[in-house]
Structure 1
Amino acid sequence: MSSRPQRAGRAAAARGAGARREPAARAPRGGGLGAHAERLRSLVEPVVESAGYDLEGLDVSRAGRRSVLRVVVDSDDGVDLDAVAELSRAISGALDGAESDGAFGAEAYTLEVTSPGVDRPLREPRHWRRNVGRLVSVPVAEQTVVGRITAADIPVEAGELGVEMDVAGAPRRIRYAELGPGRVQIEFDRPAGAGSDGAAADGAEAGVTEPEEEA
């Protein structure tokens, strides 16, 4: 994760002549945090996509007198530290340009650029593709299926794409339209290559769980 403090113009000027002014991400005039986040997304998303990454999340939160802009990015090849640093500089430049155009007010931000953690729900086909080999738990209809993803973006039924999972030693294909939010299961002894015979940590085992009936 890269964290870059973004200082307001007055603070930079107070350091004296010749001080290097850092890029500033500032709150828009009017509107709440929701509207603010949408305006920031319109600036940040084109920068992220032009660099070949997907914008997986953008969040604005308070941290004392300063606010934090957290940008989550990902790609099929992952995101390394060099890419995070480059994206952080590019996003800072875009925000600085918007500030120069008068699009934002006078509130300073701290910019954080990071990749998704394992707790990120799997909702999009690209999320499943990027987690092939992982053990996941996912609601399917009225069941909870736990198994290892062995393939993604494959034909399942009537031309619809989905995933193949190893569930209790048996392959099962499920359409993307049937999958609820998947959750990656933490494994301490996940095998190299993430084959279907890997053991799960925390007591997680491949299988199908039916919902309990109310008494």
Structure 2
Amino acid sequence: MAPDVPLLPTQKQVLELLDGEFARAGYEIEDVVVNSSTRPPRITVIADSDDGLDLEAIAALSRIASPLLDALDSADTAPYVLEITSRGVDRPLTEEKHFRRARTRKVEVVLEDGSAVTGRIGHVGDGVLRLVIADRGKLTVRELKLSEIAKAVVQVEFSPPNQRELDLVEQSGKGGDA
């Protein structure tokens, strides 16, 4: 017979418990990872919103989540660390909302045909991404169907984008090719 092992809330329990409260606060739960193999065990809630997730939002969501999860605790519940975090810059963009939330960010896109393009995310909607790219030294807007994208990852930038690029990002949502 196996020794009694302290329990953790399941991913499903955490989602059911927190999803509505996070939504009321304006955030969406992207994922929940319950990891009992770390010491101490860890429950990671990955959240996002159209306005992103800053440290103040993380603190507010932690204040929402902690008492709700504490209410689940019983004598059999193992102590754990609760972590509220964002998707992170290294996570691939996989849904339209991810591209929309990364608007103005530089992204590397690999298309289904194997070709790659790097540009700045402009308007995203109706399954189409408008990407500001440098084509032979000239900035242009290229439309890509999200269904044609095999992989897309935000690029870390250490300097601000040039103003012309940002102007094209803004114009990309106005229906013309700027």
Q: 1:63 aligns with which of 5, 16, 38?
A: 38
| Maintained 8 Å contact 1:134/1:194 | no
Deviations 1:93-116 (A, max 9, x none): 2112223xx6x8321111011223
Structure 1 residue runs of 4 or more that deviate by more than 3 Å after TM superposition: none
Alpha-carbon distance, 1:40 to partner: 2.1
Structure 2: runs of 5 or more not aligned: 1-6, 168-178
The residue that corresponds to 1:152 in the other structure is: 124
What's the RMSD between the two structures over aligned residues? 2.4
Q: How many residues align?
A: 155
Deviations 1:58-96 (A, max 9, x none): 2122322x2011112111112232322221121112112
SS in 2 for 1:113: strand
The residue that corresponds to 1:134 in the other structure is: 105
The residue that corresponds to 1:187 in the other structure is: 157
Alpha-carbon distance, 1:129 to partner: 0.8
Taking the TM superposition and a 5 Å limit, the aligned residue runs for 1:12-51 are: 27-28=8-9, 36-51=10-25
Taking the TM superposition and a 5 Å limit, the aligned residue runs for 1:197-212 are: none
Q: Which amino acid aligns with 2:154?
A: V
SS in 2 for 1:89: helix
User: Kindly, what percent of the aligned residue pairs are identical?
Assistant: 34
Q: Which has the larger radius of gyration?
A: 1
TM-score, length-scaled by structure 2? 0.75
Q: Which amino acid aligns with 2:38?
A: A
Higher helix share: 2
Alpha-carbon distance, 1:180 to partner: 2.5
